[in-house]
Amino acid sequence: MRELILAMSMSLDGFVSGPAGETEWIFSGDQEAIAWKLENAWNASLHIMGGRTFQGMAGFWPTSTNAFAPPMNQIPKAVFSKQGNAMLPKKAGGSASTELQPGAESWADAYVASGNLADEISRLKAGEGKPIIAHGGATFARSLIAEDLVDQYMLTVYPLALGQGLPIFSDLAQPRRLELISSRVFPKGSIAQIYRRV
């Protein structure tokens, strides 16, 4: 069985974005942190995300030359949406100004999970191989957490307090204990913390 890892960046005060979804603070330019995140992005057999995050990423990664484009394009994806296959982008060839990167077609070939969240996650976990990495947004992350579907939390905490924003642990019915299994501090002050469900 594959484990489900929730990979999120958050502020010191526990927000994964500002009130309007602002996330520019995540891109700190800390090369060690970027290398660590990139290594972890490759350590997946499937990337999963909610519908809004999927649409944003599907419009960006296929033509991006960013260091994260290869794993984001080449590793299979699943999108959680009630819209069915209408959620998927159309397959298209790149033009000279928007050359498609290797694996770009994987966005149009993504599995659309439109059934019960716990059932769909159980079905995906039943596969063999590397872990499943879940990306936000906050609503999708909260749903995974509330239903206790996450095996590991890979949280990068940035040295910034937002004061307000979107949390991911706000839908817990009761406190949840986690075990810290690793922690790493990066030169510009962000800290990667990996927790396992107890």
Q: pLDDT band for position 49 (50/70/90)?
A: very high
Written as six digits, the tokens of 52 are: 């809004």
For residue range 11-30, list pLDDT tens digits in order.
Answer: 999 999 999 989 888 887 78
168 pLDDT exceeds 90?
yes
Q: pLDDT band for position 61 (50/70/90)?
A: very high
> CB neighbours of 192 closer than 8 A, spacing ≥ 6?
33, 36, 154, 155, 156, 157, 182, 183, 184, 186
The reported pLDDT for the residue numbered 133 is 98
Q: Within 10 Å of residue 194's Cβ, how many Cβ atoms?
A: 19
Q: pLDDT band for position 115 (50/70/90)?
A: very high
* Residue 152 or 95, more confident: 152
121 pLDDT exceeds 90?
yes
The reported pLDDT for the residue numbered 92 is 59
Radius of gyration, CA atoms only, the chain: 17
For residue range 139-164, list pLDDT tens digits in order.
Answer: 999 999 999 999 999 999 999 999 99
94 pLDDT exceeds 80?
no
Written as six digits, the tokens of 21 are: 């979804």
The reported pLDDT for the residue numbered 93 is 57
The reported pLDDT for the residue numbered 105 is 95
> Residue 129 region, left (φ>0) first, then alpha (ψ -120 to 50), else beta?
left
Percent of the chain whose predicted confidence (pLDDT) is above 90: 82
> What's the chain's average pLDDT?
93
For residue range 64-88, list pLDDT tens digits in order.
Answer: 999 999 999 999 999 999 988 888 9
